[in-house]
Structure 1
Amino acid sequence: MSTGGGEAVAARGVGKQFGQVSAVHEVDFTVPTGSVTALVGPAGAGKSTLLRLVLGLGEPSTGSIEVARRGPSAIGPVLSPRGLHPARTVRDQLGCYAPVAGASRRRVAAVLDETGLSTVADTVVAQLHPGQQTRLALAIALLADPPLLVADDLFAGVSGIEKGWLHELLRRHVQRGGTALVSSDALADVVSVADQLVVVSEGTVVWQGTPTKLRRGHPDRLVVAAAPSIALATALAARGFTDAVMRPDGRLAVAEADEATIRAIAHAAQVRIADIAADPIHPDRVLASLTKPRRHRHTVASPTPAAFAPAPTSYGMPR
Structure 2
Amino acid sequence: MSGDRADAVRVRGLGKRFELVSAVEGVDFAVPTGAVTALVGPTGAGKSTVLRIVLGLRRADTGSVEVTGRDPAAIGAVLNPRGLHPARTVRDHLWCHAPVAGVSRRRVNVVLDETGMSPLADIVVAQLHPSQQTRLALATALLADPPLLVLDDLFAGADGVERGWLQALLRRHVDRGGTVLVSADTLADVVSAADQLVVLSEGSIVWQGTPAKLRRGHPDRLVVAAAPSIALATALAAQGFTDAVMRPDGRLAVAEVDEPTIRSIAEAAKVRIADIAADPIHPDRVLASLTKPRRHRHSPPAPAAYAPAPTSYGMPR
Common fold: TM-score over 0.5: yes
- State the one-letter code of the partner of 2:85: H
- Greater shift, 63-72 or 145-154, is seen at 63-72
Residues 148-227 of structure 1: pairs in structure 2 closer than 5 A:
148-227=148-227
Q: What is aligned with 1:9?
A: 9
Q: Within 2, Cα distance between the matches of 1:43 and 1:131?
A: 19
Residues 15-164 of structure 1: pairs in structure 2 closer than 5 A:
15-164=15-164
Q: CA deviation at 1:75?
A: 0.7
Q: What is aligned with 2:311?
A: none
Q: CA deviation at 1:67?
A: 0.6
- State the one-letter code of the partner of 1:63: G
Q: What is aligned with 2:299?
A: 318
Q: Within 2, Cα distance between the matches of 1:165 and 1:18?
A: 36
May I ask how many residue pairs the two structures share in their alignment?
297
Q: Within 2, Cα distance between the matches of 1:131 and 1:63?
A: 34
Q: CA deviation at 1:5?
A: 4.3
Q: CA RMSD in A?
A: 1.1
- State the one-letter code of the partner of 1:160: G
- Greater shift, 158-167 or 203-212, is seen at 158-167
Q: Within 2, Cα distance between the matches of 1:165 and 1:134?
A: 12
- State the one-letter code of the partner of 1:130: P
Return 5+ residue gaps in structure 1 as ranges. 297-315
Residues 292-303 of structure 1: pairs in structure 2 closer than 5 A:
292-296=292-296
Structure with higher Rg: it is 1
Q: What is aligned with 2:261?
A: 261
Q: Within 1, Cα distance between the matches of 2:264 and 2:5?
A: 48
Question: Deviations 1:42-62 (Å, cap 9, x if unpaired)?
Answer: 000000000000110011111
Q: Within 2, Cα distance between the matches of 1:127 and 1:23?
A: 34
Q: CA deviation at 1:104?
A: 0.3
Q: Within 2, Cα distance between the matches of 1:20 and 1:225?
A: 52
* 1:241 aligned counterpart, secondary structure: coil
Q: CA deviation at 1:195?
A: 0.4
Q: CA deviation at 1:90?
A: 0.1
Residues 221-236 of structure 1: pairs in structure 2 closer than 5 A:
221-236=221-236
* 2:23 aligned counterpart, secondary structure: strand
Q: Within 2, Cα distance between the matches of 1:177 and 1:56?
A: 23
Q: Within 2, Cα distance between the matches of 1:175 and 1:160?
A: 23
Q: Within 1, Cα distance between the matches of 2:298 and 2:266?
A: 55
- State the one-letter code of the partner of 2:298: M
Q: What is aligned with 2:310?
A: none
* 2:139 aligned counterpart, secondary structure: helix
* 2:188 aligned counterpart, secondary structure: helix
* 1:187 aligned counterpart, secondary structure: coil
Q: Within 2, Cα distance between the matches of 1:95 and 1:159?
A: 29
Return 5+ residue gaps in structure 2 as ranges. 301-317
The runs of at least 4 consecutive aligned structure 1 residues that moved more than 2 Å come to 316-319
- Greater shift, 168-177 or 204-213, is seen at 168-177
Q: Within 2, Cα distance between the matches of 1:195 and 1:317?
A: 36
- State the one-letter code of the partner of 2:286: V
Q: What is aligned with 2:286?
A: 286
- Greater shift, 156-165 or 184-193, is seen at 156-165
Q: CA deviation at 1:168?
A: 1.3
Q: Within 2, Cα distance between the matches of 1:54 and 1:255?
A: 39
- State the one-letter code of the partner of 2:212: T
Question: Deviations 1:159-195 (Å, cap 9, x if unpaired)?
Answer: 2111111111111111111100000001001000000
Q: Within 2, Cα distance between the matches of 1:70 and 1:91?
A: 28
Q: Within 1, Cα distance between the matches of 2:105 and 2:298?
A: 47
- State the one-letter code of the partner of 1:145: D
Q: Within 1, Cα distance between the matches of 2:207 and 2:101?
A: 36
Q: CA deviation at 1:96?
A: 1.2
Question: Deviations 1:192-217 (Å, cap 9, x if unpaired)?
Answer: 00000000001000000000000010
TM-score, normalised to structure 2, is 0.92
Q: Within 2, Cα distance between the matches of 1:101 and 1:190?
A: 28
